[in-house]
Structure 1
């Protein structure tokens, strides 16, 4: 969504890396036999004993040690049980309150996986076709829509310009940054307005010919959900995913600039000291990155998704069908493959203004890893990123044989 850096001037760039019943889209999980359940519980308990929690805690501390992050959170979950959870750093620099594993944070582009799941549920209900032209469902909304498929929006092969790359979303000097702080951060934007920004630029390539991450794709998918269901994308994520799974700490805000409940706060480092940038109008991101959640809720979501409780086998297979194109070779339909020494994991990174996170689940749907950090001092960012990357692997493989 929006990132910050410090040099001769302040720069803030928007990069939002960045009719059915309530549970209609949920595929019931098979009931395990009592003996099988007991065996699974025993196996997880054994795995938990093998997890080096001290090493994972140290990994979180390494993320914040350089000053490149003010806080870091983490969780490893397997077969419905938490093997490890932790927190490091400070949630609020003003009060000095320490970060806690339960804290909420902005999830940025991890929102896209929720949106993609709703779209694939609509595909399963035969209300949308993956290879339908966008023009069929959103006539006249986007230039060239007759040649762009729903699938190409989901996997970023549409070629559409990424609206957050527009100069209107970049604040390249101190004066414009102050304008963002006092005015622009509170602006409300419609989905149509964000698409119009993208329409002011040429496409990157003809649809399907290459891969380019574009938040515009998911703005259109949010519009598609609204047109198909008669409800907003937020309402559909709520009724199809959040409520059925009991994700009580996950929200998909419309205009509310706050992060509810206990949460880590976001800051930008200036010569004069930290400036709190936690609050802003989330319509800048919408279905491309407006979500808020916790490590526990994201782990539960990934478990349900990859475990087959939200999508049928055919739709889940489509979600994992990667493009094989360029930098998006491992990108599927709102889901990205992440190879680790312990096998492939699937999930999504999420970057928002002052937040960076990743949610992952293994191919079996048994293990989930969720990590979050609050980037801060640019001088320490490389070290924080390296520590965060190392922690992803350590958490994925914790208690397992690589």
Structure 2
């Protein structure tokens, strides 16, 4: 979750390309008493998002609400709990891996990054905590990606060091620890740190520490060249020249530890429930994860901890993360009384206003 430029609206964190959204004619909204359905219908019928799905978890009760279509060519509905690219929700997974290393005594939160990755960053004052909290001042490398033609990114992929080098061509935004600014570069570095400390690929560490223990069978971090999105999945669309183009399959290593994760809504509900109930981290590390600083997320009272955002809702606080990557936008996390929700749209960048309605749908899911 983060705020975009001057406007006060929630936008998908980690969005790789900031393009003008395509406009779509909006049919009349059907009457429904279900507030979640109402908000999803606003997203599809009013905003013009092709399809939307909310998967709600309240104890052992799971509810799936869908609107629109998963494929504008065939008219097939949004698949129930299909795979999709979760974007910056990846950051919560990476932060959890790093905090497990903290618990093992292999990483110190307030140690300089240079202790683990000597010579990578020119400012030796930047700490591990500042990476995870977005207070490092590192420039956001995705701001340098070509915004004019997403097709140039489809097969591009990248190595982590290349992405960091893109960021380091720019001066720091501020001295470390003095302000907050969302930067995907932070999590590329955090992923590199985890690999250096463990001696294993980040994708393997996420599997070993999180997805296998929790039984998240449909969640993984793709490696270079793995472009296929597993079926079933909604088609992920990006607006190009006024048309919605299928971007379901592409090399997401250009987002890697900052946003490359593939998952399903049910898996993400299970992940956030396990994380926030203490199944993945000891109380000390979970408390550090939830120690927030004020963050410019477009919502008054919002904060950001270590890979975990929090925003106030009408029934209490919501903990989780928003994510956007070419083709998909989502918001996942846990609200009051441990009610979990993941809401997915099969378009990114989304149309104007859609992010506000995504937030409204999530609030309806955890507060209704």
Cα distance change on mapping 1:127 and 1:384 into 2, 3 Å? same
Structure 2 equivalent of residue 186 of structure 1: 155
Structure 2 equivalent of residue 15 of structure 1: none
* SS of residue paired to 1:194: helix
Structure 1 equivalent of residue 210 of structure 2: 241
Quote the RMSD (CA, aligned, Å). Answer: 2.2
Q: Is 1:120 the counterpart of 2:89 in the alignment?
A: no
Q: Give yes or no for contact 1:108–1:290 (8 Å, CA) kept in 2.
A: yes
Alignment of 1:332-371 (within 5 A): 332-362=305-335, 366-371=338-343
Q: Give yes or no for contact 2:311–2:317 (8 Å, CA) kept in 1.
A: yes
TM-score, structure 1 length as denominator?
0.80
CA distances 1:46-105 after superposition (whole Å, capped 9, x unpaired): xxxxxx9833223222211125311101022122431x2112111122222111231111
Structure number with higher helix proportion: 1
Aligned length, in residue pairs: 341
* SS of residue paired to 1:58: helix
Q: Which has the larger radius of gyration?
A: 1
Tell me how far apart the structure 1 counterparts of residues 290 and 64 of structure 2 sit (CA, whole Å): 28
TM-score, structure 2 length as denominator?
0.87
Structure 2 equivalent of residue 94 of structure 1: 73
Q: Is 1:280 the counterpart of 2:250 in the alignment?
A: yes
Q: Is 1:151 the counterpart of 2:120 in the alignment?
A: no
CA distances 1:215-271 after superposition (whole Å, capped 9, x unpaired): 010000100010010111111001110001011111210121111121111223345
Tell me how far apart the structure 2 counterparts of residues 249 and 377 of structure 1 sit (CA, whole Å): 24
Q: Give yes or no for contact 1:74–1:101 (8 Å, CA) kept in 2.
A: no
- Structure 2 counterpart of 1:106, from 75, 85, 93: 85
Tell me how far apart the structure 2 counterparts of residues 261 and 115 of structure 1 sit (CA, whole Å): 25
Tell me how far apart the structure 2 counterparts of residues 246 and 224 of structure 1 sit (CA, whole Å): 25
Tell me how far apart the structure 1 counterparts of residues 175 and 184 of structure 2 sit (CA, whole Å): 17
* SS of residue paired to 2:89: helix
Tell me how far apart the structure 2 counterparts of residues 149 and 308 of structure 1 sit (CA, whole Å): 25
CA distances 1:106-125 after superposition (whole Å, capped 9, x unpaired): 10000000000000000000
* SS of residue paired to 1:346: strand
Q: Is 1:139 the counterpart of 2:112 in the alignment?
A: no
Structure 1 equivalent of residue 8 of structure 2: none
Structure 2 equivalent of residue 56 of structure 1: 36
- Structure 2 counterpart of 1:374, from 346, 349, 354: 346
Cα distance change on mapping 1:55 and 1:329 into 2, 3 Å? closer
Q: Give yes or no for contact 1:103–1:262 (8 Å, CA) kept in 2.
A: yes
Q: Give yes or no for contact 2:133–2:306 (8 Å, CA) kept in 1.
A: yes
Q: Give yes or no for contact 2:332–2:341 (8 Å, CA) kept in 1.
A: yes
Q: Give yes or no for contact 1:88–1:100 (8 Å, CA) kept in 2.
A: no
Tell me how far apart the structure 2 counterparts of residues 384 and 212 of structure 1 sit (CA, whole Å): 23
Q: Give yes or no for contact 1:4–1:354 (8 Å, CA) kept in 2.
A: no
